[in-house]
Structure 1
Amino acid sequence: MIEPKAPHLSNIEMWQSWKEERNIEAKKQLVEQYLPLVDYVTNRMVIGLPKNVSKDDIFSNGVMGLIDAIDKFDYKRGLQFETYASWRIRGAIIDSLRQGDWVPRSVREKAKRIEEAYQHLEQRYLRSVSDAEISDYLQVTPKEFTGMLQEIAVTTVCSLEDPIREEDAETRMSLLVDEKAKNPDHKVHEFFLKESLVKGIERLTEKERTVVSLFYYEELSLSEIAEVMSLSPSRISQLHSKAILRLRGALAKQKDQLMQKS
């Protein structure tokens, strides 16, 4: 993982000094110590973003997320700060990207079309569908479909951390994380959503599953995955996009069904 900078005070002393005494110097040391974490998250998220999106801006928003994490973290609970901070940093970056409306409407519409195509065809055939089948359904050539995937790659990098539905706060990634006990109705919904996610992952091709595993669980960047799998970065980006669109379609369908039953 990331090696934090050596602090002037011990880690626990810095937390105590900031939380108990509101020592600004201690807070500055904490920020400095965990800045490499912001750099790490930024480098993972900047891949695939348009050239007009500044990495410096992404980093700056990540720093704001880190500061927010330091302000809200309860060190007495004995939890891992790096994990908590990573979510806050990513959240701050994603919020800034949403506010900046960095993806053209036409690209979002293409992503939605492909997502719905996967959802419709895989529900019909109960299996993973091929690129040729998706191309036929969308009435585009295989070359045009590949071009669409390249265009929408920017919409899928953060997609597991987006809300399942636009009006929801619950994210797709949150379905993979154990949480404290909730009311029975919520647990039933969560169970079926997790089941849907598992089935969606099972329908991915072997290469798509590998990309998802390396990116979200091993936390490799897309360029690192390209080296591991001996494929070009653009090919890895396409595999990632297809995998995420399949999963988004599966989860959106399940979520709609659950909402109708509520």
Structure 2
Amino acid sequence: MDLEPLWKEYKENGSVAARNKLLAEYTPLVRYTAQRMAINLPKSVQLGDLIGVGVMGLIKAVESFDATREVKFETYATHKIRGAILDDLREQDWVPRSIRQKSKMLKNAYVELEKKMGRTPYDNEVAEYLNLEPSEFEELLGDIAPTTIVSLNEVIFTGEGAEAREVSLIDTIEDKDAENPLDRLSLEETKKILAEALLALPENERQIIALYHYEELTLKEIGIAMNLTESRISQIHSKAMLKLKAKLQLKM
């Protein structure tokens, strides 16, 4: 179906009928995106809730889409749908407090050791710092996996004082139009810091970050591609996200 006439009718004339037809046409994209995201979430998170929030993301995508930017609507809409779902998950704070405490403990360990050593600590050094056996350290990484699902959508602050503004980590490595030169400069600095942090990760950790957050593969699919179990991929992903957050905390 050629949707160009509908887009033209909606964007040029503000036709509600055209808008509703576009939403109906792209609604399956919401279900598809929500289903793939649900695979990596606890069973307590209901698919119907994800779809409901995702629809709001689709509405925003249709209303704000600019066809002159030469970006496929499906790509743009998927980002908006995922963003809406991730924002809602973060706001609901669906991760148990005990898991968040473990995650905070681990992140603080990475921060303190990197501050002391001037480099990213090795697994055995973090385990020793926390008085854990290697097997206990690996188990802990698995336990905190839920806290890293939305990590690149977590809010950080750029700038200081009156110039401070909120951005998400994912926004710092996407092409977005900054509102003014100061915002642009702040985002560029954050982008540089995050890029350096990503490059400092071992190759397998960088690959998992890329496949999960940018190629949007599930942990199971990544495991198949890398010939590792899903639980092992989850542990490596958790470790990589902790390292990134520790580096960002030290440099911002």
**1:137 lines up with 2:134 in the alignment:** no
Residue correspondences, number: 247
Matching of residues 158-197 of structure 1 within 5 Å = 158-165=150-157, 169-180=166-177, 185-197=182-194
Match of 1:26 in 2: 18
**How far did 1:241 drift?**
0.9
**1:235 lines up with 2:232 in the alignment:** yes
Amino acid at match of 1:104: P
Gaps of 5+ in 1: 1-6, 256-262
- Contact 1:164 1:251 survives alignment (8 Å): no
- Report the CA distance shift for 1:23/1:238 in structure 2 as closer, same or farther (over 3 A): same
**How far did 1:130 drift?**
2.0
The TM-score with structure 1 as length reference comes to: 0.82
**1:46 lines up with 2:38 in the alignment:** yes
Query: Given the alignment, which residue of 185, 192, 203 partners 2:200?
Result: 203
Identical aligned residues as a percent? 41
Matching of residues 1-262 of structure 1 within 5 Å = 7=1, 10-75=2-67, 78-165=70-157, 169-180=166-177, 185-255=182-252
- Contact 1:165 1:252 survives alignment (8 Å): no
For residues 83 and 141 of structure 1, the distance between their equivalents in structure 2, rounded to whole angstroms, comes to 44
**How far did 1:76 drift?**
5.2
**How far did 1:64 drift?**
1.9
**How far did 1:185 drift?**
4.7
CA RMSD of aligned residues (A): 2.5
Local SS of the residue matching 1:85: helix
Amino acid at match of 2:215: E
Amino acid at match of 2:81: I
- Report the CA distance shift for 1:183/1:64 in structure 2 as closer, same or farther (over 3 A): closer
For residues 59 and 173 of structure 2, the distance between their equivalents in structure 1, rounded to whole angstroms, comes to 26
- Report the CA distance shift for 1:43/1:205 in structure 2 as closer, same or farther (over 3 A): farther
Gaps of 5+ in 2: 159-163
For residues 232 and 26 of structure 1, the distance between their equivalents in structure 2, rounded to whole angstroms, comes to 46
For residues 74 and 196 of structure 1, the distance between their equivalents in structure 2, rounded to whole angstroms, comes to 30
Amino acid at match of 1:159: S
Deviates most, 153-162 or 171-180: 171-180
The TM-score with structure 2 as length reference comes to: 0.85
